[in-house]
Amino acid sequence: MWEQLYEKVDQLYDRMVEDRRYLHQHPELSFEEKETAKYIASRYDELAIPYKSNIGGYGIVATIEGGKPGRTVALRADFDALPIQEENDVPYKSKVDGVMHACGHDGHTASLLAVAEAALEFKDELPGTLVFLHQPAEEYAPGGAKPMIDEGALEGVDAVFGTHLWSNTALNKIETAKGAFMAGADRFTVTFKGKGGHGAMPHQTKDPVVMAGQAIVELQQVVSRRINPLQPAVLSIGKMEGGNAFNVIPDTTSLTGTVRILDKEVQGKIIDEMHKILKGIAISYDAEYELEYIKGYPPVVNHEVETEYYLNSADEIPGVTGSEEVDPIMGGEDFAYYLEERPGAFFFTGAQIEGHAYPHHHPKFDFDERALPTAAKALLHGYKKYQENNS
């Protein structure tokens, strides 16, 4: 049955491309994916697969109950886009000004829809239950995973698997890691409150621009000098704001940045050290500071047994060219919340276009659509192996 199921997925390639390209042309930002959700729901209506809408926002949860006893396994795909103006010259280019599927979520959705359509044909032979989690708002914290979980998306689910099409990895190669695989992703804003004045009379001011400049340098020491080098962490400043004229010292200046961690204990240490540095700077200038620290997604921590399905038996997946355990990356993913609740694994499906290896979140991002059926079959592989190992 499994061989025929994988063959059915391959036969749905044209439909996957059609779904992907439609979604790519009609992207919607996080928390605004009303029409995308309608499109996904319409596909389940066509297939007569039962589903629930508006779970944790625009989330959709569909279910296929197999004809044989087994466990309940959830497979997840996200479907939001990014505020990016597409620069690709392709027939399926985004039709929405300033919005683009620049991360592959259109492909994730197309692959999961194909899994559902293929599984339906073999429903009577399937063990247990398949749950299809179509999740909104992955790109922007607080994200869509946590609200879906809070509204019962994982009720009755025994395990969960997800994949990300990865434009920097060779076509149809699987990459993952046991334990921490992706980073916790936080953001922060520091505001220095000083005293403005004329640029020619700085002695009469409490210059927040200088404070901010000093903070940019000293905050780098949090990771380089205050965190164990064996515990990966990143602290980066991405934006500085303050002032309106070349010859005026402003009252306030702010810095905005991100922190990435693989260990929650490191997160607390970084916050404490940031406060020490910022307080010291503010005191030395007889000024004040505020730190708004927003904890984003936790680290994606894969479960060892379920991850080994992809590291030890990926050659069972037709079309996969190999698998490799890789170092964790410092990008964030709210799939982390599912793995905090249930055993499972998250993995990359290689989708690199030869000669067009633009990174995720780039205006020229794209992926090789031949990865779509591979991603679908790899998701099914997680479901298959979990059933075999927990029957």
Write the DSSP assignment of 43-96 as a string of letters: HHHHHT--EEEEETTTEEEEEEE-SEEEEEEEEEEE--BBS-------TT---S
Write the DSSP assignment of 133-178 as a string of letters: EEE---SSTT-SHHHHHHTTTTTT--EEEEEEEETTS-TTEEEE-S
Q: Indicate which residues carry an active-site annotation.
A: 80, 138
pTM of the model: 0.94
Query: Could you tell me the fold of the domain covering 184-297?
Result: Alpha-Beta Plaits (3.30.70)
Cα three-residue angle 196-197-198, rounded to 5 degrees: 145
Give the chain's radius of gyration (CA, Å). Answer: 23
Going residue by residue through the chain, which has 391 residues, state the pLDDT in tens, using 9 for 90 and above.
Answer: 999 999 999 999 999 999 999 999 999 999 999 999 999 999 999 999 999 999 999 999 999 999 999 999 999 999 999 999 999 999 999 999 999 999 999 999 999 999 999 999 999 999 999 999 999 999 999 999 999 999 999 999 999 999 999 999 999 999 999 999 999 999 999 999 999 999 999 999 999 999 999 999 999 999 999 999 999 999 999 999 999 999 999 999 999 999 999 998 999 999 999 999 999 999 999 999 999 999 999 999 999 999 999 999 999 999 999 999 999 999 999 999 999 999 999 999 999 999 998 999 999 999 999 999 999 999 999 999 999 999 8
Write the DSSP assignment of 297-362 as a string of letters: EPPEEE-HHHHHHHHHSGGGSTT--EEEE---BS---TTHHHHHHS-EEEEEEE-PPTT--PPTTS
Q: How far apart are CA 308 and CA 178, in angstroms?
A: 8
Domain ranges of the chain: 2-182+299-389, 184-297
DSSP structural state of residue 103: S
Q: Hey, how many other C-beta atoms are within 10 angstroms of the C-beta on 170?
A: 16
Q: Residue 349 has what pLDDT?
A: 98
Query: Could you tell me the fold of the domain covering 2-182+299-389?
Result: Aminopeptidase (3.40.630)
Which phi and psi angles does 15 have, rounded to 5°?
A: -70, -35
CA distance to 231, 264, 273, per residue, from 269 (Å) = 11, 9, 6
Which phi and psi angles does 291 have, rounded to 5°?
A: -120, 115
Those residues with Cβ within 8 angstroms of residue 203's Cβ, 6 or more apart along the chain or in another chain:
none
Helices (H) and strands (E) in the chain, counts: 10, 16
Helix (H) or strand (E) holding 123: none
Q: Residue 357 has what pLDDT?
A: 81
Q: Residue 277 has what pLDDT?
A: 98
